[in-house]
């Protein structure tokens, strides 16, 4: 354990002839988990903006189809008189999902918060493999370039197979004329994201198993760390399948193999050279990764929310072990439910029954988690800080996202709502109203640790209030659209008589979506100004128990200026053993006691 | 401020339930008058025998999840209001959980969820597994290998971006000269169990009849069967529900349900207007 007190800044300036080389090794190709975490945070927040703007493009088309987009339309699509072309619409929703999933949610949870928090919360000076950690960030850049260039390689006509890239649409180039090599670049990009995630997950597992501070038993780990640990396991076991499938699809596209292309197709008046494959194989391989990936996108958020809620309820987390077991349960069941994305795919309908039962059961650990969060809030002394409001909204919104999942888990009901906006509502409630809100909460919560300064509370609450209102205005009506059968991914749903009367509701949703994206300006301003001129704070501004709060804010290279020793779990708020309402993990008990577990 | 935030979270179940109820009952804001959205923001008209069961299951899950939604939402509101740190003078409940409660709220949802799963299985089998039979075969038992399936009324082939239809004609066999070829214009007789064979020529499509509550992905290289029984006549949409390329949105067909007599007249008319028919109808009909 390092005993240096110098911050990353001091470390760099400590050398008399601190030059460009030092700057690069400290801030660019850094091996410090905190710098890497911040690199992930800044990159993913920028991509979050890109993904949000792509979503506005989709919303514009659904509200006012084929009408020129004001101001920016003529710049973006001068050829079509400011209109979104159907080709560009498919690219829009493909890239919105790709950016949000692969460049925002997964890397902001595992890459930004996982990197920043794991060593600090377990009392380690850094990750187990710092160089590997650095590489995991820099392997994102080829992905940024490849997927970014797939957007521009043939203007207005990029990868358009959806983020799921189902063959044969994605496997036979003739099926998407004019998109050139966009789909190929997209697949290569996803492969690099996969390599980056794999490096990260190996590192997280090793660090959490090997580098915990003395006294930090597994059942004294904060929920954030448990969720990151189980997420890393999910990544490590599921990801190779996607990588393999990605290479198979690349070979189908480039070399002419036929893994996913069956015999006898006539695509766009041309005959694919290969054959003998099966398109459903891709769906199985893809969802074998991408269903666990759904939990990779929510479990760390659940962990962080548990920590935030317990801290601001000033009360121990209700049911710590059931919370750990339910995360493990979600992860375990997560491997045997991928088929619920494929109920209507042409997969053997008998399998639908098995997958339905497993899928129903996965609602169980989710319910246990919700009940325990409610139990944590019960009987506390709640402080309505900005991070707490975001964490509470996670619980409130996750209830909606969880309950709507039961509809589509039920196979007969899924026959009707599959591929409709009911599904879109469901996963936006889980991923935006759930995970993204939790991420906002986590940024407000750990910001003082990252930068030594607070974000503005008033601006934070304004940001929360309007985001909460607008997100519900945007996503809640999607349930109603889904009930009418309104399909996803249609450039012009009003082409169908059945859906023509839904346009006014879509316009309302688009107005809310514009409001939701606009209000993020408040967040961006608060975030950037607070880095430089927020109120300075000490080590533990919130009065929290876990180990990251005993390190300096921001922690220097090596994190801790003394060796932390852990005496108890992280949720001892309101403990009768001490006078203060919190009881840090490293504070020795009043009288000398053997190291026993108190939770 | 605690009161303000508690009420904000209380609005979630209140407005959430209101949106569903008003959509189902055509109340404001889905009442169709001024300052409101058009009415009929709910499940579209169902014209099939099987759709009634699916809609019933939808309502059943809606009631069940609605109750849990309201209960958890109100609990969250009440806890936030009651245990607001600025108002609450009671000491913090220093507890790490309750074993009994954990068991209760594990077992109850588990039983409920397993019940929902098992309760759905029969409807799923009727929709996707029990293909309609013409006869049960010589052994007189259903579900055995000698069952004779009801032959498909027609074959639907998805391709970018249209539905190609082929009726077998008078000889009831596909691939013969009297086949009737059409695009996007699907007619079926009312009050009869209909089997349709679905295929794809190029990429994935999904054959979606919203008013029949029928949806099945169409997979290149696979031939699948779907079935339904329409109970009302009229014209309805055929929707492609799986992304199939840039023109996915315009892959629209029309389903016309009509009496057996009208259906046969229409089919004969289509046959006669088909230029490629080499044989007069009388010869084919023998």
Q: Where do the domains of chain B lie?
A: 2-86+102-129, 148-285
- Rounded distance between C-alpha atoms, residue B261 and residue A91, angstroms: 47
* pLDDT range class, residue A18, cuts 50, 70, 90: low
Asked if residue B282 has pLDDT above 50, the reply is yes
Asked if residue A76 has pLDDT above 90, the reply is no
Q: Provide the percentage of residues in chain A whose pLDDT is more than 90.
A: 84
Looking at the domain assignment, is residue A8 inside a domain?
A: no
Question: Considering only CB atoms, which chain A residues are within 8 Å of B73?
Answer: 396, 399
Asked whether the beta carbons of residue B241 and residue A420 sit closer than 8 angstroms, the reply is yes
Q: Is A217 helix (H, G, I), strand (E, B) or coil?
A: coil
- Mean pLDDT (chain A) is 92
Reported as a single tens digit per residue, the pLDDT across A557-579 is 899 999 999 999 999 999 999 99
Residue A82: predicted pLDDT: 74
Domain count, chain A: 1
- Neighbour count for residue A23 (Cβ, 10 Å): 11
Asked if residue B279 has pLDDT above 70, the reply is no
Residue B142: predicted pLDDT: 84
- Mean pLDDT (chain B) is 93
Reported as a single tens digit per residue, the pLDDT across A426-441 is 999 999 999 999 999 9
Compute the C-alpha angle A239/A241/A244, nearest 5°: 110
Residue A268: predicted pLDDT: 85
How many angstroms away from the CA of B189 is the closest CA of chain A?
21
Asked if residue A9 has pLDDT above 50, the reply is no
Domain encompassing residue A210:
30-262+276-528
Question: Which tokens go with A169?
Answer: 């649409």
Reported as a single tens digit per residue, the pLDDT across B23-45 is 999 999 999 988 999 999 999 99
Asked whether the beta carbons of residue A490 and residue B248 sit closer than 8 angstroms, the reply is yes
Residue A26: predicted pLDDT: 83
Question: Considering only CB atoms, which chain A residues are within 8 Å of B120?
Answer: 356, 410-413
Asked if residue A480 has pLDDT above 50, the reply is yes
Asked if residue A1 has pLDDT above 50, the reply is no
Backbone angles phi, psi at A394, to 5 degrees: -60, -50
How many angstroms away from the CA of B17 is the closest CA of chain A?
11
Instruction: Return the higher-pLDDT residue of A596 and A188.
Output: A188
CA-based nearest residue in chain B for residue A276: B221
How many angstroms away from the CA of A11 is the closest CA of chain B?
42
Asked if residue A231 has pLDDT above 70, the reply is yes
- Rounded distance between C-alpha atoms, residue B202 and residue A174, angstroms: 10
Nearest to B128 among A352, A404, A468 (CB): A352
Asked whether the beta carbons of residue A161 and residue B243 sit closer than 8 angstroms, the reply is yes
Nearest to B250 among A315, A370, A495 (CB): A495
Asked if residue A296 has pLDDT above 80, the reply is yes
Asked whether the beta carbons of residue B20 and residue A479 sit closer than 8 angstroms, the reply is yes
Q: What is the mean pLDDT of residues B100-127?
A: 95
Asked whether the beta carbons of residue B246 and residue A404 sit closer than 8 angstroms, the reply is no
Compute the C-alpha angle B166/B285/B269, nearest 5°: 50
On the 0-12 / 13-18 / 19+ scale of CB atoms within 10 A, B266 is middle
Reported as a single tens digit per residue, the pLDDT across A307-365 is 999 999 999 999 999 999 999 999 999 999 999 999 999 999 999 999 999 999 999 99
How many angstroms separate the Cα of B19 from the Cα of each of A477, B10, B14, B60, B174? Answer: 8, 15, 9, 18, 49
The domain that contains A208 carries what CATH number? 1.20.210.10
* Helix%, strand%, coil% for chain A, nearest 5: 65, 0, 35
Question: Considering only CB atoms, which chain B residues are within 8 Å of A162?
Answer: 243
Looking at the domain assignment, is residue A564 inside a domain?
A: no
Q: What is the mean pLDDT of residues B77-85?
A: 96
- Rounded distance between C-alpha atoms, residue A572 and residue A315, angstroms: 7
Asked whether the beta carbons of residue A264 and residue B216 sit closer than 8 angstroms, the reply is no
Residue A10: predicted pLDDT: 43
Q: What is the mean pLDDT of residues A129-157?
A: 91
- Rounded distance between C-alpha atoms, residue A3 and residue A6, angstroms: 9
Kindly state the helix (H) or strand (E) to which residue A229 belongs, with its residue range.
helix A223-254
Reported as a single tens digit per residue, the pLDDT across A255-271 is 989 999 998 899 988 88
Q: Is B48 on the interface with A (CB under 8 A)?
A: no
Looking at the domain assignment, is residue A194 inside a domain?
A: yes
* pLDDT range class, residue B274, cuts 50, 70, 90: confident
ipTM: 0.94
How many angstroms away from the CA of B286 is the closest CA of chain A?
34
Q: What is the mean pLDDT of residues A442-460?
A: 97
Compute the C-alpha angle A491/A496/A498, nearest 5°: 125
Residue B141: predicted pLDDT: 87
Ramachandran region, residue B143 (left: φ > 0; alpha: ψ -120 to 50; beta: rest)? left
Compute the C-alpha angle A417/A420/A423, nearest 5°: 80
Asked if residue B180 has pLDDT above 60, the reply is yes
Residue A55: predicted pLDDT: 95
CB A91 within 8 Å of CB A136: no
Reported as a single tens digit per residue, the pLDDT across A173-184 is 889 888 878 999
Q: What is the mean pLDDT of residues A25-39?
A: 92
Residue B1: predicted pLDDT: 84
Question: Which tokens go with A98?
Answer: 């790709």
Comparing A29-43, A71-85, A155-169, B260-274, the range with the smallest average pLDDT is A71-85
Q: Is B45 on the interface with A (CB under 8 A)?
A: no
Asked whether the beta carbons of residue A406 and residue B41 sit closer than 8 angstroms, the reply is no
| Fold designation for B148-285 | Immunoglobulin-like (2.60.40)
Residue B277: predicted pLDDT: 55
Looking at the domain assignment, is residue A441 inside a domain?
A: yes
- Global pTM value: 0.94
């Amino acid at each position: 354990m390092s005993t240096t007190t110098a911050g990353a800044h001091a470390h760099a300036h400590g050398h008399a002839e601190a030059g460009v080389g030092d700057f690069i090794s400290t801030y660019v190709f850094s091996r410090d988990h905190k710098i890497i975490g911040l690199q992930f945070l800044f990159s993913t927040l920028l991509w979050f903006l890109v993904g949000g703007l792509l979503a506005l493009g989709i919303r514009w088309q659904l509200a006012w189809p084929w009408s020129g987009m004001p101001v920016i339309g003529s710049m973006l699509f001068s050829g079509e008189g400011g209109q979104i072309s159907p080709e560009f619409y498919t690219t829009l929703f493909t890239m919105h999902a790709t950016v949000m999933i692969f460049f925002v949610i997964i890397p902001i949870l595992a890459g930004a918060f996982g990197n920043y928090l794991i060593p600090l919360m377990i009392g380690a000076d850094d990750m187990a493999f710092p160089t590997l950690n650095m590489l995991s960030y820099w392997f994102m850049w080829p992905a940024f370039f490849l997927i970014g260039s797939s957007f521009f390689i043939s203007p207005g006509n990029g990868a358009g197979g959806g983020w799921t890239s189902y063959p044969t649409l994605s496997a036979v180039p003739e099926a998407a004329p004019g998109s050139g090599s966009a789909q190929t670049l997209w697949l290569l990009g996803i492969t690099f994201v996969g390599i980056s995630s794999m490096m990260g997950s190996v590192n997280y597992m090793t660090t959490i198993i090997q580098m915990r501070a003395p006294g930090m038993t597994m059942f004294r780990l904060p929920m954030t760390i448990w969720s990151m640990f189980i997420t890393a396991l999910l990544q490590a076991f599921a990801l190779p399948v996607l990588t393999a499938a990605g290479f198979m699809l690349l070979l189908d596209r480039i070399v002419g193999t036929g893994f996913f292309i069956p015999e006898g197709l006539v695509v766009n008046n041309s005959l694919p050279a290969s054959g003998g494959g099966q398109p459903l194989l891709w769906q199985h391989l893809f969802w074998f990764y991408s269903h666990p990936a759904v939990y990779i996108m929510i479990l760390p958020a659940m962990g962080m929310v548990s920590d935030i809620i317990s801290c601001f309820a000033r009360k121990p987390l209700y049911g710590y072990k059931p919370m750990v077991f339910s995360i493990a349960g979600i992860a375990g069941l997560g491997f045997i439910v991928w088929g619920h994305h494929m109920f209507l795919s042409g997969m053997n309908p008998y399998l639908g029954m098995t997958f339905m039962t497993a899928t129903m059961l996965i609602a169980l650990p989710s319910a246990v988690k919700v009940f325990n969060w409610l139990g944590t809030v019960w009987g506390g002394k709640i402080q309505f800080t900005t991070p707490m409001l975001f964490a509470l909204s996670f619980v409130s919104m996750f209830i909606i996202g969880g309950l709507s999942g039961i509809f589509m888990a039920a196979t007969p009901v899924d026959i009707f709502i599959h591929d409709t906006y009911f599904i879109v509502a469901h996963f936006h409630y889980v991923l935006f109203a759930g995970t993204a809100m939790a991420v906002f909460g986590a940024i407000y919560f750990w910001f003082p640790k990252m930068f030594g300064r607070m974000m503005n509370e008033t601006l934070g609450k304004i940001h929360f209030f309007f985001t909460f209102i607008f997100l519900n205005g945007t996503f809640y009506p999607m349930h109603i659209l889904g009930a009418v059968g309104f399909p996803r991914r249609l450039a012009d749903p009003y082409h169908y008589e059945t859906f023509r009367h839904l346009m006014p509701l879509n316009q309302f949703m688009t107005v809310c979506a514009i409001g939701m994206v606009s209000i993020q300006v408040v967040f961006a301003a608060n975030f950037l100004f607070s880095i430089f001129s927020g109120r300075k704070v000490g080590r533990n501004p919130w009065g929290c128990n876990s180990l990251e709060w005993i390190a300096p804010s921001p922690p220097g290279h090596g994190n801790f200026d003394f060796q932390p020793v852990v005496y108890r779990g992280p949720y001892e708020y309101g403990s009768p053993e001490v006078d203060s309402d919190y009881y840090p993990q490293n504070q020795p008990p009043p009288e000398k006691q053997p190291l026993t577990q108190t939770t | 401020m605690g009161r303000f935030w508690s009420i904000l979270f209380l609005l979630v179940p209140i407005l959430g339930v209101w949106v569903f109820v008003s959509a189902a009952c055509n109340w404001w804001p889905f009442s169709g008058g001024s300052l409101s959205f058009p009415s009929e923001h709910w499940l579209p008209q169902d014209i099939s025998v099987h759709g009634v069961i699916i809609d019933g299951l939808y309502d059943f899950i809606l009631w069940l999840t609605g109750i849990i939604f309201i209960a958890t939402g109100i609990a969250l509101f009440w806890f936030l209001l009651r245990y607001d740190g600025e108002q609450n003078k009671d000491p913090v409940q220093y507890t790490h959980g309750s074993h009994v409660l954990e068991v209760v709220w594990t077992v109850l949802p588990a039983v409920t969820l397993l019940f929902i799963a098992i309760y759905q299985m029969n409807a799923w089998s009727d929709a996707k597994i029990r293909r309609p039979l013409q006869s049960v075969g010589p052994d007189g038992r259903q579900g055995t290998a000698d069952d004779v399936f009801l032959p498909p009324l027609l074959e639907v082939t998805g391709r970018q971006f249209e539905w190609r239809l082929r009726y077998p004609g008078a000889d009831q066999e596909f691939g013969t000269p009297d086949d009737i070829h059409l695009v996007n214009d699907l007619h079926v007789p009312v009050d009869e169990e209909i089997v349709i064979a679905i295929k794809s020529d190029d990429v994935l499509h999904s054959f979606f009849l919203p008013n029949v509550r029928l949806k099945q992905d169409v997979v290149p290289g696979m031939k699948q069967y779907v079935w339904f029984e329409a109970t009302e006549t009229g014209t309805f949409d055929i929707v492609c529900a799986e992304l199939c390329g840039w023109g996915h949105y315009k892959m629209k067909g029309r389903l016309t349900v009509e009496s057996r007599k009208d259906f046969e007249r229409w089919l004969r008319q289509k046959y006669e207007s088909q230029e490629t028919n080499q044989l007069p109808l009388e010869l084919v009909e023998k």
